[in-house]
């Protein structure tokens, strides 16, 4: 990956908030709220894409309206994970999170469908100034304003994002168990904008044969360049069916095989902890699905428990892969 390619990526994100002096600040948020600019959270090129493909009134289409309300922090998620629309709450847009990390140095790649919730935005007690500061840090990171790519860090670790500290950096995480520097991580979100898991990503943007936002193309180009740069990496994915179906549309059969040979998945889609007991290689995952089809429910449960015990004892592909790293 060349410096020119990375500089082009930075330039793309320098256009963000172009109508508001390209800055994320309390002043900007007040202006956005005063203007009731419900699409300010979108990159200008993405906004033009929405308008050209779905019309200027796309914001009234229910599936997009859900995304817009969540990204503007107008939805409160209660303890039962129900979405509650706060109609009278001023809009407070979240920053997109297309990726985190240093593409020149990362060798452990996390592939997500969408970003994790932004600094507990479902909790109205979180300090507003802290949200602004952390979101602004994301924007500066995307633009390359703070550090060049040679020194770029993994921001969720540097700024202790809540989801990262909880799921990826707990005491039992593979990062701590193998003493792995978190700055070796790179995380990609297929859809860069904040959406609740209940509302979900608009289905049009979940397949390469459907619609693709300009920001999604930028994410895809960055990931493809990393796959093709010849560096040895492992790829940890959530929802492997989604990712593998998109791999075959972009990469050669040889590149797809390389990805699959080095791909690991979460054993449970509900469990997001990055631990030895919760990470399977794609090969191990296929074997698990095979056993599920052939064994009775009780025997499959016993087989899973035995498999988990083996993984915790180091008898797993992820253990071998990390040891080799």
65 lies in some domain: no
169 lies in some domain: yes
Give the structural domain span for 197: 96-231
Model confidence at 89, pLDDT cuts 50, 70, 90, reads confident
135 lies in some domain: yes
Q: Per-residue pLDDT for 162 more than 80?
A: yes
What the block records as the tokens of 74 is 């107008």
Model confidence at 78, pLDDT cuts 50, 70, 90, reads low
**Phi–psi pair at 16, nearest 5 degrees:** -65, 140
Specify the DSSP class assigned to residue 147. S
Q: Per-residue pLDDT for 122 more than 50?
A: no
3-state DSSP assignment of residue 236: strand
Q: Per-residue pLDDT for 181 more than 80?
A: yes
What the block records as the tokens of 175 is 């990062």
Bridge partners of 189, per DSSP, are: 112
- Residue by residue, DSSP assigns 238-290 as SSHHHHHHHHHHHS-HHHHHHHHHTEEEES-SS----BGGGEEEHHHHHHHHH
302 lies in some domain: no
143 lies in some domain: yes
Q: What is the pLDDT of residue 123?
A: 52
111 lies in some domain: yes
Alpha-carbon distance values, 213 to 8, 47, 229, 257, 262 (Å)? 17, 9, 24, 27, 28
3-state DSSP assignment of residue 232: coil
pTM assigned to the model: 0.91
Tally the domains of the chain: 1
pLDDT in tens, 5-51: 788 888 999 999 999 988 899 999 999 999 999 999 999 999 999 99
Alpha-carbon distance values, 185 to 147, 180, 234 (Å)? 16, 9, 10
């Amino acid at each position: 990956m060349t410096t020119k390619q990375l500089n082009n990526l930075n330039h793309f994100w320098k256009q963000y908030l172009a109508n508001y002096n390209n800055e994320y600040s309390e002043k900007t948020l007040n202006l956005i709220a005063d203007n009731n600019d419900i699409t300010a959270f979108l990159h200008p090129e993405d906004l033009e894409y929405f308008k050209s493909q779905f019309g200027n009134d796309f914001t009234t289409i229910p599936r997009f309206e859900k995304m817009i309300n969540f990204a503007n922090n107008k939805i409160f998620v209660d303890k039962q994970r129900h979405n509650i629309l706060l109609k009278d709450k001023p809009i407070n847009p979240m920053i997109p999170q297309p990726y985190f990390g240093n593409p020149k140095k990362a060798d452990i790649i996390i592939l997500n469908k969408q970003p994790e919730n932004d600094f507990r935005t479902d909790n109205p007690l979180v300090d507003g100034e802290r949200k602004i500061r952390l979101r602004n840090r994301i924007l500066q990171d995307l633009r390359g304003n703070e550090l060049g790519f040679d020194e770029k860090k993994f921001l969720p670790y540097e700024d202790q994002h809540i989801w990262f500290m909880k799921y990826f950096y707990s005491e039992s995480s593979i990062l701590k168990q193998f003493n792995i520097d978190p700055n070796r991580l790179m995380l990609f979100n297929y859809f860069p904008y904040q959406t609740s898991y209940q509302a979900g990503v608009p289905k049009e943007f979940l397949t390469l044969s459907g619609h693709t936002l300009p920001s999604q193309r930028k994410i895809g180009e960055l990931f493809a360049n990393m796959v093709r740069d010849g560096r040895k990496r492992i790829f940890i994915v959530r929802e492997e069916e989604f990712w593998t179906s998109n791999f075959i549309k972009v990469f050669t059969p040889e590149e797809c095989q390389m990805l699959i040979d080095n791909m690991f998945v979460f054993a449970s889609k509900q469990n997001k902890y990055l631990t030895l007991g919760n990470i399977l290689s794609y090969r191990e995952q296929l074997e698990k699905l095979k056993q599920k089809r052939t064994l009775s429910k009780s025997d499959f449960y016993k087989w899973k428990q035995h498999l988990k015990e083996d993984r915790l004892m180091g008898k797993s592909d992820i253990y071998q892969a990390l040891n080799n790293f």
